[in-house]
Amino acid sequence: MGTTQLESVPEPKYWHLKTVLSEALDHDFAVGEILPNERELAARFGVARATLRQALEQLELEGRLQRRRGVGTTVAPPRVGVAVGSARHSWPGESADGWEAVDAAEALPTAAVLKLLAAGSGSAASGSAASGSAVFAADQPVHTVRRTRVTEGQVVAAELLYVPAASVPGLSAIDAPAGPARARAVLRELQRLALDGQDRSVELGSARADDAKELDRLPGAPVLLVTTRYFTAGGTAAVSVATYRADTCRLTFGDEGVEITETRVAS
Amino acid sequence: MGTTQLESVPEPKYWHLKTVLSEALDHDFAVGEILPNERELAARFGVARATLRQALEQLELEGRLQRRRGVGTTVAPPRVGVAVGSARHSWPGESADGWEAVDAAEALPTAAVLKLLAAGSGSAASGSAASGSAVFAADQPVHTVRRTRVTEGQVVAAELLYVPAASVPGLSAIDAPAGPARARAVLRELQRLALDGQDRSVELGSARADDAKELDRLPGAPVLLVTTRYFTAGGTAAVSVATYRADTCRLTFGDEGVEITETRVAS
DNA sequence: AAGTGGTCTAGACCACCAA
DNA sequence: TGGTGGTCTAGACCACTTA
């Protein structure tokens, strides 16, 4: 290396490392190829392992690498595009779009879920008696449905759907035992209602322990949280929080059928 | 604390630490309040500073904390919801939605940008001669427009818009000097075209050095990359890549006027 | 059992900000 | 100038996978 220039604004080592590795990935490695292990890479670049790991972490965050404990670090395939906004206004489970019902249960809502349910729909007349007041109280049970989404043979998302018992009259009659069948039964009841509108938001989060397990990631792994609220004339009928693997997924919001095919390229 | 139970599956210290801190933030701190510095917190919890930092990093990723070098760590306000999908099918700059034109320039497209431009629209007849072939070549210049988006007094996003010279005939006639005026002129020319459709995707990334500077973050900070392609009858007329601060933003895709107001709650 | 990535430590120095 | 977070080191041990 020598001294090309004494950088006036010294770039952090891990940042420079990341750049070097990134270019090496473009030119000298194929998808799926295994990289040398961390100790050797660190030695090769003359840095401490922690510093090398800082660079690898960034590359993993960007979806360039995949690291698995006990196995090694491999070059990741390009992110898969998963359609999130294409089907306009439909209840969960209405179309066969890769989601699989896993289980259903009943529980009291957490404060966070209550908040989501309480906020009114913009299409409903605001200020009316329907919004706000204790339609969904903390002591009213909420049905929860777990689903997972599989794309190209890989679990890319885990979802938790919250349906207040008050939203759907027929819900209390469901007597299926816990399991996929019960989950599907809850969805069927929900689909009886007339859907008035929906509402989505995307933000960065870290995987809770249970979601991490479904996604085959470590707890705390970066995820994209997609929160959807389903509105009926009566207000917010259901809320779902879908946890997408941020390392492997690109969420697409194309209008019917349009799809971005690939992003990453060499050089 | 004592020994509640010798956990059979020992939770990592930083994970437990994160949980403890998270609850403390809910109960004992107000938004904007300054936390004790890292060395003191580490000592207080009896861990090394690096471990404490691992917990803080996660909390910052989740938008709970804000850390500034030379200043300290403060409790972050709830994420702001920024509308990304509400205005359906409109050119950039058509509505006053918080975006400010900053600058415009001309350059040769990178391979990644070319790839985005080359992929055809799904609404256009596929297989026609228009798609594919060298309409956008690597040696054809591309106009770039820089914009920033300000919400509640804070820069939340930096955007780079790519417009191939071939897309917009009137573009070469623009003679405004570099600066906001030139950027607005390019947008005006673009808006003359008939917009046929658009296409969005969201993924996790890390801030490039220039974007980081606009967003007042360090290079490598986690960001949400929103890629939009604008289609005309002729194919992809423009592509924009918007870089949103992942720590402070929640992207909303509500249908006209609907808006999630708040997410985080205490307890 | 050997090898991998994940966690953790106890230091050190540096870049940045405010008083 | 003092205090903050950001970077970096050279070790150690642990959890997990594969053979």
β-sheet bridge partners, residue B155: B150
Using CB atoms within 10 Å of the CB of residue B166, give its burial: 0 to 12 exposed, 13 to 18 middle, 19+ buried: middle
Q: Give the list of residues 6+ apart from residue A111 with CB closer than 8 angstroms, or none.
A: A138, B265, B266, B267
Residue length, chain A? 267
Residue with tokens 């194309």: A254
Instruction: Write the pLDDT tens digit of every residue in A38-66.
Output: 999 999 999 999 999 999 999 999 999 99
Residues from chain A contacting residue B200 (CB–CB below 8 Å): 85, 252-254
Q: What is the CA B50 to C1' C10 distance in angstroms?
A: 10
Instruction: Write the pLDDT tens digit of every residue in B206-222.
Output: 999 999 989 999 899 99
Instruction: Write the pLDDT tens digit of every residue in B157-180.
Output: 999 999 998 888 888 778 878 889
Nearest to A229 by CA among B193, B259, B17: B259
Q: What is the pLDDT of residue A154?
A: 87
B43 touches strand D (CB under 7 A): no
Give the nearest partner residue to B257 out of A61, A122, A257, using CB atoms.
A122
Residues from chain A contacting residue B119 (CB–CB below 8 Å): 260-262
Using CB atoms within 10 Å of the CB of residue B100, give its burial: 0 to 12 exposed, 13 to 18 middle, 19+ buried: middle
Give the nearest partner residue to A262 out of B115, B122, B267, using CB atoms.
B115
> CA A98, CA A153: separation in Å to the nearest integer?
10
Least confident stretch, A19-23, A129-133, A168-172, A204-208: A129-133
Instruction: Write the pLDDT tens digit of every residue in A216-267.
Output: 998 999 999 999 999 998 889 999 999 999 999 999 986 644 444 444 433 3
Express as a percent the part of chain B with pLDDT over 70: 83
Backbone angles phi, psi at A162, to 5 degrees: -110, 120
B43 touches strand C (CB under 7 A): no
Q: Do the strands B72-75 and B80-83 form a parallel or antiparallel pair, or are they unpaired?
A: unpaired
Q: How far is residue A150 CA from its own chain's centroid?
A: 12
> CA B149, CA B158: separation in Å to the nearest integer?
6
Q: What is the pLDDT of residue B174?
A: 81
> For residue B204, which amino acid is it?
L
Give the nearest partner residue to B265 out of A15, A115, A206, using CB atoms.
A115
Q: What is the pLDDT of residue B173?
A: 79
How many CA within 13 A on the CB side of residue B58?
Answer: 23
> CA B248, CA B267: separation in Å to the nearest integer?
21
Q: Give the closest-approach CA distance of A221 to chain B in angstroms.
A: 9
Instruction: Give the nucleotide with minimal C1' distance to the Cα of A14.
Output: D7
Residue A88 carries which DSSP code? Answer: -
Using CB atoms within 10 Å of the CB of residue A8, give its burial: 0 to 12 exposed, 13 to 18 middle, 19+ buried: exposed
A90 touches chain B (CB under 8 A): no
Enclosing H/E stretch for A219: none
Q: What is the CA A16 to C1' C8 distance in angstroms?
A: 25
Q: What is the CA B43 to C1' C14 distance in angstroms?
A: 22
- Comparing A88 with A153, which gets the higher pLDDT? A153
Query: Does A260 sit within 8 Å of B199, measured CB to CB?
Result: yes
Integer Rg of chain A from CA: 23
Instruction: Give the nucleotide with minimal C1' distance to the Cα of A71.
Output: C4
Q: What is the CA B191 to C1' D2 distance in angstroms?
A: 55
Query: Does A252 sit within 8 Å of B199, measured CB to CB?
Result: yes
Nucleic chain C contacts, protein chain A, residues 31-90, CB cut-off 7 A: 35, 37-40, 49-50, 53, 67-73
Nearest to A242 by CA among A194, A200, A209: A200
B5, pLDDT greater than 50:
no
Residues from chain A contacting residue B112 (CB–CB below 8 Å): 263-265
pTM of the entire predicted model: 0.89
> CA A66, CA A45: separation in Å to the nearest integer?
20
**Strand C: positions under 7 A of a protein C-beta atom:** 2-12, 14-18
B44 touches strand C (CB under 7 A): no
> CA A264, CA B157: separation in Å to the nearest integer?
22
